[in-house]
Structure 1
Amino acid sequence: MTTINQIVEEQRAFYQNGNTRDYQTRRASLESLKRMLKKHEKEIYHALRSDLNKSEHEAYTTEIGFLYSEIDFTLKNLMNWMEPTKVTAPITHKGTKNYIVHEPYGVSLIISPWNYPLQLALAPAIGAIAAGNCVVIKPSEHAKATSSLLASMIKRTFDPSYITVIEGEKETNQELLRQRFDYIFFTGSTEVGRIVMKQASTHLTPVTLELGGKSPAIVDKDANINLAAKRIVWGKFTNAGQTCVAPDYVYVHEKVKFKLLKAMKKYIKSFYGKEPLNNPDYTKIINESHFDRILGYLTDGTLLHGGNADKQSLMIEPTILDKISWDDSVMQEEIFGPVLPVLSFTNVEEAVEMISKQEKPLALYYFGENIKTQEQVIQYLSFGGGSINDTIFHLANPHLPFGGVGNSGMGQYHGQSSFKTFSHQKSILKQSTKFDVPFRYPGSKLGKAVIKRIMK
């Protein structure tokens, strides 16, 4: 049986032989990846249904379709991205040509989570392939059906010395992190992200950490309440709240709180029915441990809507909690489930000040019509990325880099940002031999005067 160390070394040899570098290889690999997904689309639906009870609509829009769009966007722009980037030079560098070469790192490791088990494994891989790297993917052991299918598809499509999937439990992650990779891309919890970063420091391996946090949705008094409610409910309860950028809590102006709560309850019923637990397309919680953890939050505050659960099916209704304080357990960590606590404020400055005291979230959503207030929220609060008058939708624009800040992560990807993440920016100066400027050398009084004048 091939060991993890052997797999890494075989990939390193494959990379060093130059098998991943040229444009045609990268393009052909991305096209093969898309054909693979097309060929196995029905099996993917089945696997995602098995792991999370995802409907075909949700599986396509948040996983398969997202990957198709990302591959197409990359194929359209790859040749241009690979071109060296010319840069200007100061007068002291007259006669030189200066440019940046986008060099692949080498052998990359992608550790992906269970909540979007296909998309979050392959979206970073698209960037790694486009940049010319070899790829080892370690999918989450909690999404067993998708992990198994991903391993099988990749094995039938690619040489394992180029792209491979390694399945396993926690011990497999630990063994992988002991290896010398050239780049590590991790998506998961902040707690595990710290472990990944610590292990990467052993070999000074660069990392991207896509983590999470408590992403707020601020609803101001001048917001379009009906649309705010609709978009918050959609963003929060998609995938049963198991989304790293889902609104973790709502912070609403007290003057519009009642209207917002009423509208949110209306849209929960519209999207998921009066009995969500009997809705065959409602997403389940990934496992019993997470189910019990989320259920524990329902003792906080006042149960305003939902709250029913079925342990056998691992489903928890879309739930709204009212009369929540910052000291409640539901406000101490990322919920990552279909429970939405609601807090209120009397003016937006108060809300902004309170949010600024928390750890920096991965996303932030502001609902309000005043442009000046929108800009104040954007400028004053630090967060990975976000939307004004919407939730989650910023992820779907490949022109926008996606990533966290502080406790919510480091590094960015999607679109060209994925290509750049998996590329070392190598700076090159090409000097002329047609002439040689003498004043940079020692021993010239005139040279010293010229340098002082130029570099003053």
Structure 2
Amino acid sequence: MESYNETVDLLRRNFLAGKTRPIQFRLSQLEALNKLVEENKAALVQCLKKDLNKPPFEVELSELSMVQSEINLAVNNLSTWMKDEHVSKNLATTLDTAFIRKDPLGVVLVISPWNYPVHLTLIPLVGAIAAGNCVVVKPSEISQNTEKVLADLLPRYLDKDCFTVVCGGVPETTRLLENKFDYIFFTGSPNVGKIIMTAAAKHLTPVTLELGGKNPCYVHDDSDVQNAGRRIAWAKFFNAGQTCLAPDYVLCSEKYRDKLVGAIQTSIHEFYGEDPKQSPDLGRIISEKHFLRVSALLQSGKIVTGGQTDESERYIAPTVLVDVKASDPVMNEEIFGPVLPILTVSSVDEAIDFINQRERPLAAYAFSSSTQIVNQVLDRTSSGGFVANDGFMHTTIISLPFGGIGHSGMGMYHGKFTFDTFSHSRACLLRSDGREKLNEVRYPPYSESRLGFVLYAVGAKQKSSCVLS
């Protein structure tokens, strides 16, 4: 089996030769990537249809347009992002030049998942290119049609001496990880994230891990129930629930629950019709393995809507569960499918306690017409992102960072944050080789009288005192 040594070595030679550093090269590759998306939209829509039965509307919204927005932002701002960032100095360096240079890291590895296989492959690639790196791209073999299309298209549009695609499954990825990379960017499950981090540790390679988790959604009694029902249903059943940001479970009061269930049922009917299986707007589960796993979760609690399955089509109906216990299987793994458990709590305090007793999620959602209630959930919980009165719309704002915390990941990206992730902030000080008299005060033999002056010259002082009452 291929070790990929030669592939990585070729990229490293070209990186060390400086091929990827000039802004003109970076811009040309970003424009080529944009051209790839623009010229092959039909092929990308088709492969996502085959893999996930993803509706074209969802493909355009969550895959293609987001990639192109990232490319456009990078092209528009790259010259600014690359500029040296000058910093304040102390007295000892007043006559010198101090700045931060954004250096490319080198040869980086991007490992992407199957649920948004275009978006989650190309957006990290945009930042890695913008930052001046060589890149090995490893798409998911599970979304096999998309993997094949990306493996065909990327070498046709990007410089093959600096960017390459590796296909395959676990054995190929394992071999790939034996090589030394300067950075690894992984999107996937926490369990695989641990494997990636272990492999990276052998080479002291830094990582970004974009993982998942059980995203809580608290709905307060004062919420507009119809609006909450529509927004939760859209966010949950988008891409057949196979979204790392999807609301994973709902917390609400017992008296509010039936109203919310009714609103979600109405929304499902509005979105997908009398028989969701016939809807062109509802996706399918990616594989038989995942179908069987998600189907098994339907045994938790009581089904109040949905529950129908068809293994031959990998179809699971949009499903709502009630009377779910915290110990049930559906509450002890990320669902990643169109199944929504609703649990009851007596108060916002109990909801917050419930959330805080679990691993920190990638996102948390709170629905309430009260700013005070929303801020309570925001201030007293911890998550990668937070949205009030909607689903994952925050991810459409590329000036916001995207990333997890704790069990849901480490590191962040989107927009300039992706450029920064794939850049090394290099501390630079340029001094004159003269003016030696100014330096003599710090040289041995040391004396107490000199120490005070040196400390004053290199130290920072508080501008004003702070008194706590």
Question: Is the pair's TM-score, using the shorter chain for normalization, greater than 0.5?
Answer: yes
1:237-386 equivalences under 5 Å are 237-386=237-386
Instruction: Please state whether the residue corresponding to 1:256 is helix, strand or coil.
Output: helix
What residue identity is the alignment partner of 1:12? Answer: R
Match in the other structure for 1:439 = 441
2: distance between equivalents of 1:363 and 1:277? 29
2: distance between equivalents of 1:195 and 1:265? 40
1: distance between equivalents of 2:281 and 2:81? 40
The superposition leaves residues 223-242 of structure 1 with CA deviations (integer Å, 9 ceiling, x where unpaired) of: 22222111111111000000
What's the offset of the Cα at 1:108?
A: 0.7
What's the offset of the Cα at 1:402?
A: 0.3
1: distance between equivalents of 2:221 and 2:88? 49
Match in the other structure for 1:231 = 231
What residue identity is the alignment partner of 1:295? Answer: S
Task: Report if the CA contact (8 A) 2:70-2:414 is conserved.
Answer: yes
Task: Report if the CA contact (8 A) 1:438-1:447 is conserved.
Answer: no
TM-score (norm 2): 0.94
1:86-97 equivalences under 5 Å are 86-97=86-97
Task: Report if the CA contact (8 A) 1:217-1:364 is conserved.
Answer: yes
Task: Report if the CA contact (8 A) 2:233-2:268 is conserved.
Answer: yes
1: distance between equivalents of 2:441 and 2:222? 65
Q: Does 1:102 align with 2:102?
A: yes
Match in the other structure for 1:449 = 452
What residue identity is the alignment partner of 2:374? Answer: Q
1: distance between equivalents of 2:124 and 2:367? 31
Task: Report if the CA contact (8 A) 2:29-2:159 is conserved.
Answer: no
What residue identity is the alignment partner of 2:149? Answer: L
2: distance between equivalents of 1:364 and 1:69? 25
1: distance between equivalents of 2:8 and 2:455? 52
Task: Report if the CA contact (8 A) 1:365-1:389 is conserved.
Answer: yes
Instruction: Please state whether the residue corresponding to 2:313 is helix, strand or coil.
Output: coil
1:62-101 equivalences under 5 Å are 62-101=62-101
What's the offset of the Cα at 1:279?
A: 1.5
The superposition leaves residues 140-172 of structure 1 with CA deviations (integer Å, 9 ceiling, x where unpaired) of: 111111000000001211232211111112101
Instruction: Please state whether the residue corresponding to 2:203 is helix, strand or coil.
Output: coil
2: distance between equivalents of 1:91 and 1:230? 60
Match in the other structure for 1:35 = 35
Question: Which segment is superposed worse, 21-30 or 273-282?
Answer: 273-282
What residue identity is the alignment partner of 2:441? Answer: F
1: distance between equivalents of 2:69 and 2:25? 20
What residue identity is the alignment partner of 1:303? Answer: I
Q: Could you say if the C-alpha distance between residues 2 and 154 of structure 1 is closer, same or farther in structure 2, counting changes exceeding 3 Å?
A: farther
2: distance between equivalents of 1:292 and 1:119? 26
What's the offset of the Cα at 1:346?
A: 1.2
Instruction: Please state whether the residue corresponding to 2:252 is helix, strand or coil.
Output: strand
2: distance between equivalents of 1:449 and 1:8? 52
Instruction: Please state whether the residue corresponding to 2:255 is helix, strand or coil.
Output: coil
Match in the other structure for 1:219 = 219
Match in the other structure for 1:205 = 205
What residue identity is the alignment partner of 2:309? Answer: A
Question: Which segment is superposed worse, 257-266 or 327-336?
Answer: 257-266
2: distance between equivalents of 1:225 and 1:392? 18
2: distance between equivalents of 1:449 and 1:263? 71
Percent sequence identity is: 43
What residue identity is the alignment partner of 2:252? Answer: V
Match in the other structure for 2:464 = none
Task: Report if the CA contact (8 A) 2:362-2:408 is conserved.
Answer: yes
Match in the other structure for 2:466 = none
The superposition leaves residues 44-87 of structure 1 with CA deviations (integer Å, 9 ceiling, x where unpaired) of: 11100010111110111010111111111111111110001111
Instruction: Please state whether the residue corresponding to 1:255 is helix, strand or coil.
Output: helix
1:389-404 equivalences under 5 Å are 389-404=389-404
2: distance between equivalents of 1:243 and 1:3? 33
The superposition leaves residues 82-119 of structure 1 with CA deviations (integer Å, 9 ceiling, x where unpaired) of: 00111112334322322111111111111110001111
What's the offset of the Cα at 1:2?
A: 7.5
Q: Does 1:147 align with 2:150?
A: no
Instruction: Please state whether the residue corresponding to 1:34 is helix, strand or coil.
Output: helix
2: distance between equivalents of 1:426 and 1:449? 30
2: distance between equivalents of 1:42 and 1:423? 34
Task: Report if the CA contact (8 A) 2:67-2:119 is conserved.
Answer: yes
Task: Report if the CA contact (8 A) 1:214-1:248 is conserved.
Answer: yes
2: distance between equivalents of 1:272 and 1:260? 18
TM-score (norm 1): 0.97
Task: Report if the CA contact (8 A) 1:34-1:71 is conserved.
Answer: yes
Task: Report if the CA contact (8 A) 1:37-1:64 is conserved.
Answer: yes
The superposition leaves residues 4-28 of structure 1 with CA deviations (integer Å, 9 ceiling, x where unpaired) of: 1111111111111111001111111
1: distance between equivalents of 2:84 and 2:65? 31
Report the RMSD for the aligned CA atoms in angstroms.
Answer: 1.5
Task: Report if the CA contact (8 A) 1:7-1:161 is conserved.
Answer: no
What's the offset of the Cα at 1:390?
A: 1.1
What residue identity is the alignment partner of 1:23? Answer: I
Residue ranges of structure 2 left out of the alignment (5+ in a row): 462-469
Match in the other structure for 1:159 = 159
Aligned length: 456
What's the offset of the Cα at 1:252?
A: 1.2
The superposition leaves residues 291-320 of structure 1 with CA deviations (integer Å, 9 ceiling, x where unpaired) of: 011110111111010000111111100000
What's the offset of the Cα at 1:281?
A: 3.2
What residue identity is the alignment partner of 1:411? Answer: G
1: distance between equivalents of 2:375 and 2:442? 48
1: distance between equivalents of 2:406 and 2:452? 47
Q: Could you say if the C-alpha distance between residues 90 and 368 of structure 1 is closer, same or farther in structure 2, counting changes exceeding 3 Å?
A: farther
Instruction: Please state whether the residue corresponding to 2:312 is helix, strand or coil.
Output: coil
Instruction: Please state whether the residue corresponding to 1:447 is helix, strand or coil.
Output: helix
What residue identity is the alignment partner of 2:451? Answer: K
1: distance between equivalents of 2:56 and 2:164? 27
2: distance between equivalents of 1:58 and 1:453? 60
Task: Report if the CA contact (8 A) 2:2-2:175 is conserved.
Answer: no
What residue identity is the alignment partner of 1:310? Answer: D
What's the offset of the Cα at 1:452?
A: 5.0
2: distance between equivalents of 1:201 and 1:287? 31
Residue ranges of structure 1 left out of the alignment (5+ in a row): none
